[in-house]
Each structure stands twice: as C-alpha cells, then as structure tokens.
C-alpha cells in the first residue's frame, strides 16, 4: 500500500514537471508539495546524482558593511531522475537561502543562491554556510560555504 502511494506521488511529480513550460508558468503548476519533497528524500528509487558545477566554496572577497550580496551556487543533475532541492538552511540569520521551486530535470542545471546581509556584522573575515537537502546519492545533504570580508 505504501509503495503504491509512493509510486503515484512520484508519477504525479514527473507528469507535473513534464507539463510545465519552464518559462514563468503559474506558481501552482511549477512547485511541488511538501509531501512530494519528503518522498524525494525517503524513497531511494527517486534518488539521482548531481555535481556542484562551480564548487561548494566561494571566497567573495571584500563587502562594504550594510551591503547585501548574492552568492549563486550552480548544481547540475547528472542522474536519470528529477533532482528535487527540498530545503536550504542557512547557518545564521544574516544569510537567506533561495532554491529552485520545481525539480531540475536530468542534464539540466539550477541555482541555489545565498543572500548575505553584512548589516550588523563585525568588520573582518566571516565564514558562512548553508545546508542543502536534496534527493541525491550517496548523501542527501550538502554544505555550501562562503567566505566574506566585511569592511567599512
């Protein structure tokens, strides 16, 4: 019974992805549900492989205090199943993580973006991170890191 339900949810996800134009469509047709996200992490039949195209670490250099910077990380789905980024959890309140709301199809790329707000940060070097949860094997969690130097 459980496996049947998982197969139905996975099929619905794939059908919804294939019916989406990928060019701005309506929000209701482009995003996946919370249940579908959890299924992606727990059903190993839906796992895929991926590579971080431009590394999981970036040195941003100097940023003026009060400035907000965006740090994009590019991921490529190298597997044969849709890649579902379930969550992006920043390590502190000065950083916000943004992720694709719809699956990344095999062979395609997507971006996870860290938005760092230097307001209220002490001058000097800072190392920040975000944990990305996705239906990837062998690990479902990846830590993205960036370094920034806050200056006056």
Residue 64, judged by CB atoms within 10 A of its CB (0-12, 13-18, 19+), counts as exposed
- Encode pLDDT of 67-85 as tens digits: 999 999 999 999 999 999 9
Q: Is the pLDDT of residue 119 over 90?
A: yes
Residue 101 lies in domain: 2-151
What pLDDT does residue 30 have?
A: 58
- Domain tally, the chain: 1
| pTM of the full structure | 0.75
- Encode pLDDT of 129-141 as tens digits: 999 999 999 888 9
**95-98 and 109-117 beta bridge pairing:** antiparallel
Side by side, the strands of the sheet bearing 85-90 are 57-64, 141-151, 124-134, 85-90
Identify which of 104, 73, 109 has the alpha carbon closest to the alpha carbon of residue 88: 73
Identify the CATH number of the domain in which residue 48 sits.
2.60.40.10
Look at the block and give the residue holding tokens 């000097």: 124
């Amino acid at each position: 019974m459980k496996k049947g339900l998982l197969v139905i949810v996975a099929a619905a996800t794939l059908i919804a992805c294939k019916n989406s134009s990928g060019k701005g469509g309506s929000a209701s047709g482009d995003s996946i549900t919370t249940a579908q996200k959890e299924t992606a992490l727990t059903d190993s039949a839906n796992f895929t492989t991926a590579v971080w195209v431009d590394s999981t670490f970036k040195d941003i250099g100097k940023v003026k205090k009060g400035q907000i910077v965006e740090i994009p990380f590019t991921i490529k789905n190298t597997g044969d199943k849709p890649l579902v980024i379930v969550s992006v959890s920043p390590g502190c309140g000065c950083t916000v993580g943004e992720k694709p709301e719809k699956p990344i199809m095999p062979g395609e790329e997507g971006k996870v973006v860290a938005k760092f707000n230097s307001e209220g940060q002490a001058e000097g070097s800072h190392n920040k991170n975000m944990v990305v949860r996705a239906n990837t094997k062998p690990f479902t969690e990846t830590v993205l890191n960036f370094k920034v130097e806050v200056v006056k």
